């Protein structure tokens, strides 16, 4: 996150997915959730949004090669409909949820040697403040 977020500007979300393992994994970017909380610097939740953001994301699985990382970026509009105080510090928490696949889907992926990431993981942004530029 930028350290100073201009309330009047559009903002983007970038997920940086790192795969430190010795095996390739596949994830579906649709499950990079826009299910996030905005927290004050002292850890109190200020707002929560729980919809997936689908603009610009393909529903296909993306390979994250072993010991590599990949970035996904799209327009986020994090702060629509929230009254956040100017110059107060905040941070975001959001994450990835493994998809719930039917047996038929799992079988297809196994036939193609696609190993899905089976871990849910969460991320936390750096501290930022709302400001007027």
- pLDDT grade, residue 124 (50/70/90)? confident
1's CB contacts (< 8 A; 6+ apart) are: 91, 92, 125, 126, 128
CATH number of the CATH domain containing 45: 2.60.40
Q: Strand 4-6 vs strand 128-131: parallel, antiparallel, or unpaired? A: parallel
Predicted confidence at residue 60, as pLDDT, reads: 77
Tally of domains within the chain: 1
Which structural domain range is residue 31 located in?
4-131
Per-residue CA distances from 36 to 19, 27, 103 (Å): 22, 19, 29
Overall average pLDDT of the 14-27 stretch: 84
How do residues 48-100 score in pLDDT, each as one tens digit? 765 555 455 566 788 889 999 988 777 766 666 667 888 889 888 877 777 77
């Amino acid at each position: 996150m930028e350290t100073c977020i201009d309330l009047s500007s559009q903002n983007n979300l970038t997920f940086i997915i790192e795969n430190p393992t010795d095996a390739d994994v596949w994830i579906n970017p649709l499950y990079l959730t826009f299910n996030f909380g905005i927290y004050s610097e002292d850890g109190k939740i200020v707002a929560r949004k729980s919809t997936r953001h689908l603009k610009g994301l393909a529903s296909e699985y993306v390979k994250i090669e072993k010991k590599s990382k990949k970035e996904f970026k799209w327009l986020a509009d994090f702060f629509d409909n929230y009254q956040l105080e100017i110059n107060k510090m905040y941070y975001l928490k959001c994450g990835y949820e493994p998809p719930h696949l039917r047996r038929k889907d799992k079988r297809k992926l196994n036939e193609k040697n696609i190993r899905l990431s089976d871990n849910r993981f969460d991320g936390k942004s750096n501290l930022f403040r709302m400001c007027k530029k």
